[in-house]
Amino acid sequence: MSSPATMSAPTGQRSFLTAITRPARALPPGACDTHAHVFGPYERFALSAERSYTPPPSPFEDYLRMLDTAGMTRGVLVHPSAYGFDPGAMLDALARAPRRLRGIAVADRLIDDETLADLDARGVRGLRFTETGGGGTRYTGAVGLTEFDALAPRLRELGWHAVVWAPCARLAIELPRLLGAGIPVVLDHMGMLEVARGVGGADFQALLAHLRGGALWLKLSLPRVSQRFPDYDDLRPFHDALLHANPDRLLWGSDWPFLRLAESTPAVGQLIDLFDAWTDDEELRRKVFVDNPAALYGFDGVKSAG
């Protein structure tokens, strides 16, 4: 495994800096990218010794440049597994732009109430649970759904939500239990749907049914699900079905800096342009980019929505 000192991009990897581009049409004020990560600088925020991957540095300054170039007024940083339980890089970013940013942390049942309260005061609005990773195993440093039941009551007290990254087939099994905890559940990466099974697949249809129910939220984030870079046309039917099911519970996330996508690394502006090409609806655009994230993440001093 590489050490934090060797941070050059893998051979064939497009630089995440090339992914910082402007969309063809300006986003409305208050637009939010709900899924991105920061890494480094590593002399201040070293990666966990036990990790599944070693990303190149993508520090706060580059992240802010991405938001500004894309026209994003707001952003949500998701704690990555390469940092284990250390949220230092994310908390530093939140402290430097407290009105603009929110965070999603990672913790297990051993976290104390004082630490959770401190995270809340710093702008954290949820915890992430991961059930995916290389070779069919969970990423090192991630927390799985086995911790959910112990943490859900504490999330409910804080007004937080749970973010879940898991395959769609696993979600079809777990969602009734997760939603029964009485907290909002947010699915990363379009619920990790399986394109080969089609829109009519039982797992995706179960996801749609829960989305219509209103307690489930989902991030429209294309790159990690599609097999057809750069147009992602295999996801268009799923994208349409999700928008039709419940546009009030959809969010947009870039997934910048696009870890481990190599030559399939997209540009942020390109992804926004695709959303516009597929929807062409100004009211829907405002809901997904502005109104929905403002409600869920508690921007403008409003506590998160249920």
**CB neighbour list of residue 160: distance below 8 Å, 6 or more residues apart:** 120, 124, 125, 126, 127, 183, 304
**CB neighbour list of residue 188: distance below 8 Å, 6 or more residues apart:** 35, 78, 128, 163, 164, 165, 219, 221, 253
Residues in the chain, overall count: 306
Which candidate in 248, 255, 280, 300 is catalytic?
A: 255
3-state SS assignment for residue 220 = strand
- 182 dihedral zone (left: phi>0; alpha: psi -120 to 50; beta): left
Q: Answer yes or no: 255 catalytic.
A: yes
E strands of 85-212, at which residues? Answer: 101-105, 124-130, 161-165, 185-187
CA 193 vs. chain centroid, Å, equals: 15
Please report, as a single letter, which amino acid is at residue 171: L
Distance CA(104)–CA(106), nearest Å, equals 7
Contact 84, 50 (CB under 8 A): yes
Beta bridge partners of 33: 75
In the structure encoding, which two tokens stand for residue 215, read together? 């307690």
For the chain, first and last CA: distance in Å? 41
Q: Give me the active site residues, please.
A: 255
